[in-house]
């Protein structure tokens, strides 16, 4: 099997183009690939598959073998793979909930390979997450006393389920509260039966936010594309930012999110790097796998310059 190791905002994946779906093979492969003892591991496996109504289909398997309905950072990497394979600058990718438009974009930093991807559909209905809290139908920028006395939460699907809290810098500097809450909501609990991605958001300026995400099926991650987009949407709706193009910093670097709202309609786009770390060959052996060959690109050097820029920027706030 020939795979690419890729990342969007240091959200790292292996990417494999397959001719058919076969969970019996891909779930154990995903768990093995994501084990940190194997070439540093990864956050998941991106499967690129044939599609009957789009240029390609994307499936996303998390590190624990569960499947995500969408992944914005992963979609950028799939977008690059499909566009370069087809020799085009725009394409349509089928995902679990929608066919999404993707395209090559101007670099957000120097010569960094950059792609813009549509994030859709959006719903604020708790039944869509699903989530239950005091018989509410929506949670829109309000304190949930069972979770915290001083955090304004919003719940939204894009289409992955997200609980987004606007917090003071102290909650960013110390992640203990976020880890405790997110761990609870992703175990057997009365609020989120299927778990939820939990993001704490710190507004930095009228056009910048910082987002840290505890991702369902992964834990704390360098970045979560749909979480960053959901956070930019909430920050825009609640007027923490006052521009449609929001710069979103995260532990893995930064992206840009374009937010357009029309009454209860939302057009969201996630813009960021799609970096190829290397090319790998994997062979099955006994009841496991082994890397038989690898070739690393030089693209990560460029991204590390971007990461240093982001860290210098965050040093003023975090």
> Looking at residue 143, what is its pLDDT?
98
Please check the confidence at residue 187 and state whether its pLDDT lies above 80: yes
> Looking at residue 23, what is its pLDDT?
63
> Looking at residue 20, what is its pLDDT?
82
Active site residue 77: no
Q: Which residues constitute the domain of residue 237?
A: 126-268
Cα 288 to Cα 32, 39, 67, distances in angstroms: 8, 15, 21
Q: CATH number of the domain that 199 lies in?
A: 3.10.310.10
Burial of 74 (0-12, 13-18, 19+ CB in 10 A): buried
154 and 84 in a common domain: no
> Looking at residue 72, what is its pLDDT?
95
168 and 85 in a common domain: no
Q: Is 122 helix (H, G, I), strand (E, B) or coil?
A: coil
> Looking at residue 218, what is its pLDDT?
84
Contacts for 158 with CB less than 8 Å, ≥ 6 apart: 70, 119, 120, 121, 122, 226, 229, 230, 233, 268
154 and 90 in a common domain: no
Dihedral, CA atoms, 266, 200, 132, 72, nearest 10 degrees? 50
Domain count, the chain: 2
Please check the confidence at residue 317 and state whether its pLDDT lies above 90: no
174 and 115 in a common domain: no
Active site residue 83: no
Q: What is the largest CA-CA distance in the chain?
A: 57
55 and 130 in a common domain: no
> Looking at residue 127, what is its pLDDT?
97
The catalytic residue among 34, 71, 83, 306 is 71
The verdict on whether omega for the bond into residue 129 sits within 30 degrees of 0, i.e. cis, is no
186 and 156 in a common domain: yes
Please write the tens of the pLDDT for every residue from 138-184.
999 999 999 999 999 999 999 999 999 999 999 999 999 999 999 99
The catalytic residue among 77, 192, 224, 257 is 224
Q: Which of 235, 250, 268 is the last residue of a domain?
A: 268
**What does pTM read for this prediction?**
0.94
280 and 262 in a common domain: no
Please check the confidence at residue 22 and state whether its pLDDT lies above 90: no
Please check the confidence at residue 104 and state whether its pLDDT lies above 90: yes
């Amino acid at each position: 099997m020939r795979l690419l190791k890729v990342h969007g905002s240091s959200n790292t994946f292996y990417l494999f183009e397959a001719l058919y779906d076969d969970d019996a093979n891909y779930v154990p492969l995903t768990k093995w690939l994501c084990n940190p003892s194997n070439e540093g591991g990864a956050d998941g496996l991106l499967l690129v598959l044939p599609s009957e109504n789009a240029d390609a289909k994307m499936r996303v398997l998390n590190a624990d073998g569960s499947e995500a309905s969408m992944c914005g950072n992963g979609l950028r990497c799939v977008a690059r793979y499909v566009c370069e394979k087809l020799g085009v600058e725009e394409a349509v990718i089928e995902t679990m909930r929608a066919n999404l438009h993707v395209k090559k974009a101007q670099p957000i930093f120097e010569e960094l390979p950059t792609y813009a991807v549509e994030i859709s559909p959006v719903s604020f209905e708790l039944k869509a997450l699903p989530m239950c809290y005091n018989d509410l139908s929506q949670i829109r920028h309000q304190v949930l006393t069972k979770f915290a006395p001083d955090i304004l939460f919003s719940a939204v699907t894009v289409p992955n389920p997200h609980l987004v809290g606007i917090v003071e810098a102290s909650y960013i500097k110390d992640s203990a509260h976020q880890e405790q809450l997110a761990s609870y909501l992703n175990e057997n609990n009365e609020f989120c039966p299927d778990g939820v991605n939990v993001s704490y958001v710190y507004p930095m300026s009228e056009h910048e936010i910082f987002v840290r995400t505890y991702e369902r099926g992964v834990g704390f991650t360098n970045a979560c594309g749909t979480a960053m987009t959901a956070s930019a949407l909430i920050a825009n709706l609640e007027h923490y930012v006052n521009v449609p193009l929001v710069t979103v910093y995260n532990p893995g670097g930064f992206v840009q999110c374009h937010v357009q709202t029309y009454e209860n309609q939302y057009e969201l786009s996630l813009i960021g790097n799609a970096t190829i770390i290397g090319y790998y060959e994997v062979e099955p052996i006994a009841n496991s796998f082994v890397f038989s060959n690898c070739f690393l690109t030089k693209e990560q050097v460029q991204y590390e310059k971007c990461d240093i820029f982001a860290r210098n920027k965050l040093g003023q706030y975090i």
